[in-house]
Structure formats: C-alpha cells, structure tokens
C-alpha cells in the first residue's frame, strides 16, 4: 500500500488567498483525521471523519477553515481567506478503526503551509 | 486536555537507556507512542490498551499504569536511529479522539 498521500507537500501563498490541501487515505480505512502541527501548539486535531461523514470538528479554529470528504478515497482541507498565523504543517492520518480505542493512525507526509 | 510528557529533551550516547513519561488527567483507554524525525511524519511505535494488551513492532518497550493514567516508554541500548521527537497520544475512556503531548526530543550521539 502507498500509505496516506497528501498534496501539495509545500505551499507558499499570500495572506487572503484560498488554500486547498488534499489527502488520500489508506484504502479500506474508515477514519480520516486532519491535524495541524506548530512549535507553539504541538499536534492538534482539527477534524475527523468516519465513513466520509464529519464526526467532530471542534478543533477547527475558525469559520475560515472547512473540510470535506466527498468519497472514501479523498478529502480536502480548505482555508479561505488564509492568514500568516495559519502557517504550519498539516497532516492527514487514517485508521481502520477509531484510533482512540485500539487502532493505529497512519500519518501522511504532511503539507508545509507558509502564508506570507 | 493534552497529556503531559517529561522530560522535554534528553541527550544520550549510543548504548545508554532512557525513559519518557506521559501522564493524563483523564481516565485512559489507550496510549499510543509515535516517533517523528525532523521534517517527516510521525511514525507509529506502539499502542498500549487498558487491560494490559500491548502492540508494537520495534525493539522499544512501554508500560501503561491505568490507575495512575500514566505511560512510560523505555529506550534500551539506544541506537543513533532512535533520535527524534517522541509523542504520546492518549485515548480517553469517554472521548475516543487521540490527544497528543508536546513531545520529548531524544538525541543519540555516537
């Protein structure tokens, strides 16, 4: 298996622009997670999906952030408009079951976002 | 609420041992350990479950004290490849999302 795939790997944009991050989970995994990692706040869960349905988006920082999962093999995280404080590494992860219980989360390589 | 990891950083020479601790204020169902190298994604090391079951595939061991909501990761006879930042992720009994600690940076020197 190719593992979790994310694109782009690096994104540099200007404040106010729309940013779309993409993720393809491991085939057969029912759960998909979006995380943000910064030096100040560490690894934060933004939102997670179960069978393409958003279950918990309490970690989404503001209305500027939105996430979708139109099918089992694709998810997007969109920031509109972007701000410099959104600069971070965004990870997508997937698991076969609910990771907080018994299953391993597999992380993608991440997207390093820089907002100027 | 994030679990608390200690120490924040540790420097070892090859062959030395270290212990990384992770504690939570919540009743835990599981503890997951990951290692992240600079510029890379976190990589799964081990999962410890309430009741004592343990799953892992590396030569790194861990323990889980359910009563104290604490876990410890043991790096034994460290190798250069053990360098990286170690994160614990905790799954609480009533909230099955993983919460990650701030990380412990381990540097192993020759």
**Residue B109, min C-alpha distance to chain A (Å):** 24
In angstroms, the CA A62 to CA B44 distance is: 30
Under a CB-based contact definition with an 8 Å cutoff, are residues A2 and A105 in contact? no
pLDDT tens digits, residue range A22-73?
999 999 999 999 999 998 888 999 999 999 999 999 999 889 999 999 999 9
In angstroms, the CA A103 to CA B49 distance is: 10
Measured between beta carbons, the chain A residues lying within 8 angstroms of B43 are 107
Per-residue pLDDT of chain B (110 residues; tens, 9 = 90+): 789 999 999 999 999 999 999 999 988 888 999 999 998 999 999 888 877 666 665 568 898 988 889 999 999 889 999 999 999 999 887 666 789 999 999 999 99
Phi first, then psi: give them for residue A84, nearest 5 degrees: -55, -35
Q: Which of residues 36-75 of A touch B (CB under 8 A)?
A: 42-45, 48, 56
Q: What is the pLDDT of residue B60?
A: 82
Neighbours of A85 (CB within 10 A): 11
> Do A99 and B87 make contact, defined as CB atoms within 8 angstroms?
no
The mean pLDDT value of chain A amounts to: 93
Q: Is B24 on the interface with A (CB under 8 A)?
A: no
- In this complex, the residue of B98, B101, B102 whose CB is nearest that of residue A105 is B98
Q: What are the E-state strand segments in chain B?
A: 4-6, 9-13, 18-23, 28-36, 43-49, 54-56, 61-65, 70-75, 84-92, 95-100, 104-109
Q: What is the pLDDT of residue A20?
A: 98
């Amino acid at each position: 298996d190719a593992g979790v795939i994310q694109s782009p790997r690096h994104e540099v944009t200007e404040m106010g622009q729309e940013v779309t991050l993409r993720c393809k989970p491991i085939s057969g995994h029912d759960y998909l997670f979006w995380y943000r990692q910064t030096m100040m706040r560490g690894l934060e869960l933004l939102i997670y999906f179960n069978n393409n349905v958003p279950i918990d988006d309490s970690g989404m920082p503001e209305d500027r952030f939105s996430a979708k999962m139109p099918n089992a093999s694709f998810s997007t995280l969109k920031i509109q408009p972007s701000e410099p404080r959104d600069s971070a590494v965004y990870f997508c992860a997937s698991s076969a079951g609910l990771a907080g219980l018994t299953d391993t989360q597999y992380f993608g390589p991440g997207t390093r976002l820089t907002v100027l | 609420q994030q679990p608390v990891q200690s120490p924040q950083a540790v420097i070892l020479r090859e062959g030395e041992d270290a212990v990384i601790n992770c504690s939570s204020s919540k009743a835990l169902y599981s503890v997951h350990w990951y290692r992240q190298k600079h510029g890379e994604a976190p990589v799964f090391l081990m999962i410890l479950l309430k009741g004592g079951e343990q799953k892992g595939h590396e030569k790194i061991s861990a323990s889980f004290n359910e009563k104290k909501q604490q876990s410890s990761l043991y790096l034994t006879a460290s190798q250069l490849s053990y360098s990286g930042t170690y994160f614990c992720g905790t799954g609480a009994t009533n909230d099955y999302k993983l919460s990650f600690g701030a990380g412990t940076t381990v540097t192993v020197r020759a």
